[in-house]
Amino acid sequence: MIRLALWILSALILGGLVHLSTVLLLPSLATQDAYARVAAVAPVNSVIPIPAPTPEKAIMPFMDPAFTVSVCRYDLSRGPLKFSVPISQAYTSVSFYTRSDVAYYAINDRAAGRRVIELDLMTAAQRADLPDTEEVTRADRLIVTSPTRAGLIVIRALTPEPGGIPAARAALAAAQCRAQ
């Protein structure tokens, strides 16, 4: 009897380990995560418009249909990236995601406080290599540090009315995401 209880106990402990390891490993093993879905349509280091979600097809689930979206799939292994986007008439936001879809930074038009959201994206190592010149420490220069070499920049412009979509598309088409 005690022997059976011990077997059950060890099975449960082992089961707990299986549970924890599958939960922790799943993000690195997933093949249909948001990054993989975007990677299938977007080349590296360029801004690509993402089609609006429809009932039949959406590149990702739970996309907000009130937004016009563009995305830049970045790779910093060849050096830092310069990113800029003119803000459209309505709300515009820029969100940064790591290779494993973790949102690590987001900024909106009001926080940027200018007509253009402009920033430098680099890894922590590239940031450390920057010389401390005045150009780098300038107060209005925005430097974002990416925890991973690859990731996604998602640009969203609010278009509550379908009539506003062409203007938002034009603003997002002027977005730039290129190696320095």
Partner 1 sequence: MRLLFGILFALATAAMVGLGTTWIALTQGLAYGGVTIGAWTAWPKNGTAGIDPYARAMIARNGELPVGSGDGVSFYARTDDAGQPLDGRCDVLVSGITPPARFWTMTLYDPEGLLVANSMRRHGFTSQEIVRKADGNFDIAIAPRARPGNWLPTGGIERYQLVLRLYDTPVGMATRSGREAPMPAISRRACQ
User: Of 87, 96, 144, 151, which one interacts with partner 1 (CB under 8 A)?
Assistant: 96
Three-class SS state of 10: helix
Contact 47, 81 (CB under 8 A): no
CA distance 84 to 180: 12
Q: Site mask, partner 1, residues 34-73, x = CB under 8 A?
A: x-xx---------------xxxx-x-xxx-xxx-------
Burial of 151 (0-12, 13-18, 19+ CB in 10 A): buried
Angle at 51 between CA 58 and CA 84, to 5 degrees: 125
CA distance 158 to 67: 5
**Binding window for partner 1 (CB under 8 A); candidates: 27-35, 73-81, 135-143, 172-180:** 27-35
| Nearest-approach distance from CB 91 to partner 1, in angstroms | 6
**Binding window for partner 1 (CB under 8 A); candidates: 6-14, 40-48, 77-85, 168-176:** 6-14
**Residue whose CB is less far from partner 1, 23 or 139:** 23
Contact 38, 74 (CB under 8 A): no
By CB under 8 A, how many residues form the interface with partner 1?
A: 59
Q: Which residues bind to partner 1, rule: CB under 8 A?
A: 3, 7-8, 10-19, 21-24, 26-27, 30, 32-34, 36-37, 53-56, 58, 60-62, 64-66, 91, 93, 95-97, 100-108, 110-111, 147, 152, 154, 156, 158, 160-161
